[in-house]
Amino acid sequence: MIERYNRLTESEFLLLKGTEKMSTMISNKFFTADFDVIEYLEDNSLGQFCVIKNDVKGGWIIYFETLEDVQLAMANLTPKEPDAAPIHKINIVDEF
């Protein structure tokens, strides 16, 4: 079986030096301390991306070819706020 692998190695990323793709990826630079983001991208990214370990901050710097991958990761990995209780279940007590 063969599948597309969008994650670039650091060496591959450096080979892009001087190209328009490198400029785009540099401007789409993000940081995460959550390895789940990287695992999600490996399975679901639409474009190419490069991950570089950042020992100073204790996480990873990610360079994206497309912002769609950032939006997908945020939409799928950002904790959801719990739904508000239905209005008929709210207990209102007068404090007079």
Instruction: Give Cα 81 to chain centroid, integer Å.
Output: 19
Q: Percentage of the chain surpassing pLDDT 70? A: 89
pLDDT at 62 (0 to 100): 95
pLDDT of 50 strictly over 70: yes
HSE of 71 in the Cβ direction (CA atoms, 13 Å)? Answer: 6
What is the C-alpha separation between 65 and 21, in angstroms, rounded?
7
What is the C-alpha separation between 74 and 34, in angstroms, rounded?
12
**What does the domain layout of the chain look like in residue ranges?**
7-78
Say what the pTM is. Answer: 0.76
The mean pLDDT of 46-75, rounded to a whole number, is 93
pLDDT at 4 (0 to 100): 80
Higher pLDDT, 81 or 45: 45
